[in-house]
Amino acid sequence: MAKVKQSEHVPQSMQTIYDRIVTLTDEFSQKHLTEEYAQLMRYATAALCRKRPSPLSKGKINTWACGISYAMGFANFLFDRSQEPSMSASDLCAAFSVSTSTGGTKSKTIRDLLGISQLDPNWCLPSKIDSNPMAWMIKLDGLMIDTRCVPRVIQEIAYEKGLIPHIPADTRDK
């Protein structure tokens, strides 16, 4: 899976919209989630600002902020009560004064635009990357393999090519 460049850089013409959305998502994350979620939401907002034309230039700011938060929550199983933090989709949408159906629809639009899926290593919380099986899968000689189960030399090559987040053998004893 190709690594998505994570950046907060936005075109100058989109800076105001970016700032307004990020203000809402940062406040929401501070109140209900974590700084990791806030950072992913900033990256997603910036990525949407860089789209040409940016979808964020039309519509309500709170709806976009809700959709971005919902999309990041979807990707990281926020709606699963066994996860920490967790919350319901309806509570998330209510925090932005958006209906659940509107929040879900906007989230789907964002996920489609950015190619986000559950277990997507590009949009996974950093604290959960080690337990995300998709972060470690590579194709080797036409077969999908888990790099955590291969010799270190293969892990090093996969890491150098940006296919995995770090060399698993370096964190096994920690």
Task: Count the Cβ atoms, other than its own, within 10 Å of residue 170.
Answer: 12
Instruction: Report whether pLDDT(174) > 50.
Output: no
- What is the structure's pLDDT at 129? 79
Instruction: Report whether pLDDT(171) > 70.
Output: no
Predicted confidence (pLDDT) per residue in 36-64, tens digit: 999 999 999 999 999 999 999 999 999 99
Report how far residue 141's alpha carbon sits from residue 159's, in angstroms, rounded to the nearest whole number: 17
Residue 134: phi and psi, rounded to 5, are -70, -20
Residue spans of the domains in the chain: they are 12-118, 132-170
Predicted confidence (pLDDT) per residue in 133-143, tens digit: 776 788 888 88
Please give the residue that has the higher pLDDT: either 62 or 170. 62
The answer to whether the CB of 136 falls within 8 A of the CB of 164 is yes
SS (H, E, C) 98-166: CCHHHHHHHHHHHHHHHCCCCCCHHHCCHHHHHHCHHHHEEEECCEEEEHHHCCHHHHHHHHHCCCCCC
Predicted confidence (pLDDT) per residue in 72-129, tens digit: 999 999 999 998 999 999 999 999 999 999 999 999 999 999 999 988 888 988 888 7
CATH architecture of 12-118: Orthogonal Bundle (1.10)
Report how far residue 72's alpha carbon sits from residue 141's, in angstroms, rounded to the nearest whole number: 33
Instruction: Evaluate the omega torsion of the peptide bond into residue 168 and state whether it is cis, within 30 degrees of 0.
Output: no
Encode burial over 140-150: b for 16+ CB neighbours within 10 A, e otherwise: eeeeeeebbeb
The answer to whether the CB of 70 falls within 8 A of the CB of 88 is no
- What is the structure's pLDDT at 156? 86
Question: How large is the C-alpha radius of gyration of the chain?
Answer: 17
- What is the structure's pLDDT at 92? 97
Please give the residue that has the higher pLDDT: either 117 or 173. 117
The answer to whether the CB of 67 falls within 8 A of the CB of 107 is yes
